Amino acid sequence: MVGVIEKILSSTIKTVDAKEKIQIGLKESYIYNAFYFNVDFDDSENITADVLNSVDVGIYAGTKDKSFFLGTLLDIAILSYVQNGRNIIDVANKKIKSLLTYDYDNDTVNTAIFPYLLPDCTIEINNKLNDQIGVKIGYLGFDTTDYIQYIKAQYGGKLTEEQIKAQLNASINKRIFTGRGETLTASEQTFTVSKASGWYDRIIVYTINGNINELELQALQTVVEKNDMETLSDIAFLRNDRDPTKLIAKQIAIIENIPANYNLNLTVSGDSGTKFRILTERVV
């Protein structure tokens, strides 16, 4: 934004014990454009997709209906690669390093990661593993006080602070990520992606284990997209390059720019018992 300098806002280091849930409060006067989300695992833990999927992460303001992100650490790992192309999992050293942001190379939509100027801005981490984890989170963005002072200087103090905050909040599109896990119980099955406001910038489907042969996305009985999973990206980035046999996930499909104002039917064909996740990225 004009007249405002993005900066490192703060960082948080927490230990989350086994089977423990913690909450980290965020300062309401900040606009967050990126989270550096790093996790250290216990030496006895083998880093697999199921392990990453056992750490729930929620980022929301006030109440969960104002969520920015509801998913798992595995979803964050996938998003970090899709957004930034990072090789983010170090199997040997039991670490994951990820960056959650909105700054795509071709993204022209003004979407801050966490624009809500509300109290009770929270990151919630639920560790369902049998061992503790170490969480290190860094925040990048700007202080809205700087922006307010800039606007007041430009307009001679004609706008109140609350008016400026309201205009700022209204001008920023909200980007909402929601992940959910599914299991194929037959060789072909249809799942619903529910209608909502805005549009789906991305619908990401990826396997945890098993095999998907084909995806078909339908809207209003019209085929929007049909993909052979074997021709799509191999998620080889989710591995420690020093041990390339230890892959975290092997299949990913990314479907882009779909209106969200009606239910979408996602038909998945593959091996029965395949575990996969549907991760939606919606702009409102």
Q: How many domains does the chain have?
A: 2
CATH number at residue 190: 2.60.120.20
CB of 266 closer than 8 Å to CB of 171:
no
Round to whole Å and give the CA distance between 171 and 149. Answer: 17
Range of the domain at 73: 7-144
Q: Calculate ∠ Cα 59-65-68, nearest 5°.
A: 30
Give domain status of residue 74, yes or no: yes
Give domain status of residue 149, yes or no: no
Round to whole Å and give the CA distance between 140 and 110. Answer: 16
Give domain status of residue 162, yes or no: no
123 shares its domain with 183: no
Digitized pLDDT (tens) for each residue of the chain, 284 residues in all: 555 566 777 889 999 999 999 998 887 777 777 888 899 999 888 888 889 999 999 987 655 556 778 999 999 988 887 776 665 777 778 888 888 876 555 555 555 555 444 556 788 999 999 999 999 998 887 777 777 777 778 777 677 877 877 777 666 667 788 999 999 999 999 999 999 988 898 899 988 888 888 888 888 766 666 765 554 444 444 444 444 444 455 688 888 888 898 899 999 999 999 999 999 988 88
pLDDT at site 257:
84
pLDDT at site 57:
94
195 shares its domain with 136: no
Give domain status of residue 159, yes or no: no
Give domain status of residue 223, yes or no: yes
18 shares its domain with 65: yes
Round to whole Å and give the CA distance between 202 and 115. Answer: 20
Give domain status of residue 92, yes or no: yes
CB of 208 closer than 8 Å to CB of 74:
yes
CA distances from 1 to 27, 138, 142, 158, 261 (A): 19, 21, 10, 20, 30
pLDDT at site 107:
52
Q: What is the pTM of this model?
A: 0.82
Round to whole Å and give the CA distance between 279 and 205. Answer: 6
Nearest Cα to Cα of residue 187 among 218, 166, 213: 213
49 shares its domain with 139: yes
Give domain status of residue 212, yes or no: yes
